[in-house]
Amino acid sequence: MTQQTAGRRVVTNMSLSLDGRYAKPDNPLDMSWVMPYAVSDVARDHLTSLWESATTALLGRVNAEGFLGFWPTVIGMEGADPRDEGFAKWLVDADKVVLSSTLDEAPWERTTVVDKPTAEAVADLRATEGGDILVLSSASVIKALLAADAVDRLALTIFPVVLGGGPRLFEDGLPAGQWTLASQTAGEHGTLALVYDRLR
């Protein structure tokens, strides 16, 4: 495999239905279809493998509000899965970059708000020291990075659900490119975790 572009690796993580959707057609914020599968061993181990080498979390504003509103509450929660708690601690301690044109300042610690095009913001991050830049389920951010061919590692969790409509992650017009399978794991409920690296 050829070497990645200079700088830090950009890793994106997204859950998809069998028909390639990341949200329901009628209510994009309703993630109830994900929940039975997100707590599977496959999904938890998949996420752990991604954040362990990352030092920066990159989020859109809506996802930042959801993730940073929920995950810190998992730390110390009775009966919490250690992998969930590990991710929650990582998210709190990691440098967080939130892409937003509406937020003036971040209500979360260790967080920088950036108001510039996604690819530009990522190019700035690549030029700094650190581990992987992990994009957590922020569809608008991942779509912009795919369009700019700026994703180095594409992590997908496929859940055995057909949503029958709703937004797609991969839209027509993306730059053509080849990927190589870095890992694949199948598990309970038919959940499939796939990790692809971009060949350059």
Residue 147 lies in a domain: yes
pLDDT digits (tens, 9 = 90+) for 36-72: 888 999 999 999 999 999 999 999 998 899 899 999 9
Residue 3 lies in a domain: no
Residue 54 lies in a domain: yes
pLDDT at 2 over 80: no
Residue 4 lies in a domain: no
Residue 2 lies in a domain: no
Residue 108 lies in a domain: yes
Q: Do the strands 132-136 and 10-17 form a parallel or antiparallel pair, or are they unpaired?
A: parallel
Q: Is the pTM of this model over 0.75?
A: yes
Q: Residue 182 belongs to a domain with what CATH number?
A: 3.40.430.10
Query: How confident is the model at residue 1, as a pLDDT?
Result: 41
* Closest by CA position to 136, among listed 45, 61, 33, 30: 61
Residue 47 lies in a domain: yes
pLDDT digits (tens, 9 = 90+) for 101-129: 999 888 889 999 999 999 999 999 999 99
Q: Do the strands 111-114 and 95-99 form a parallel or antiparallel pair, or are they unpaired?
A: parallel
Tell me the one-letter amino acid at 12.
T
Determine the Cα–Cα distance for residues 30 and 28; give it in Å rounded to an integer. Answer: 6
How many angstroms from the chain centroid is the CA of residue 33? 17
Residue 5 lies in a domain: no
Query: How confident is the model at residue 42, as a pLDDT?
Result: 94
The angle subtended at Cα 100 by Cα 111 and Cα 86, nearest 5°, is 40
pLDDT digits (tens, 9 = 90+) for 149-198: 999 999 999 999 999 999 999 999 999 999 999 999 998 889 999 999 99
Tell me the one-letter amino acid at 85.
E
pLDDT confidence bin for 28, thresholds 50/70/90? confident
Report the number of distinct structural domains present in the chain.
1
Dihedral over alpha carbons 122, 61, 45, 90 (to 10 degrees): 80
pLDDT digits (tens, 9 = 90+) for 63-114: 899 899 999 999 999 999 999 999 999 999 999 999 999 998 888 899 999 9
pLDDT > 70 fraction of the chain, expressed in percent and rounded: 97
Question: Could you tell me the residue range of the domain that residue 163 belongs to?
Answer: 10-199
- CB-based burial, 50-65: b 16+ in 10 Å, e otherwise: bbeebbbbbbbbebbb
Query: How confident is the model at residue 15, as a pLDDT?
Result: 95
Query: How confident is the model at residue 4, as a pLDDT?
Result: 46
Report residue 195 as tokens. Answer: 């990790």
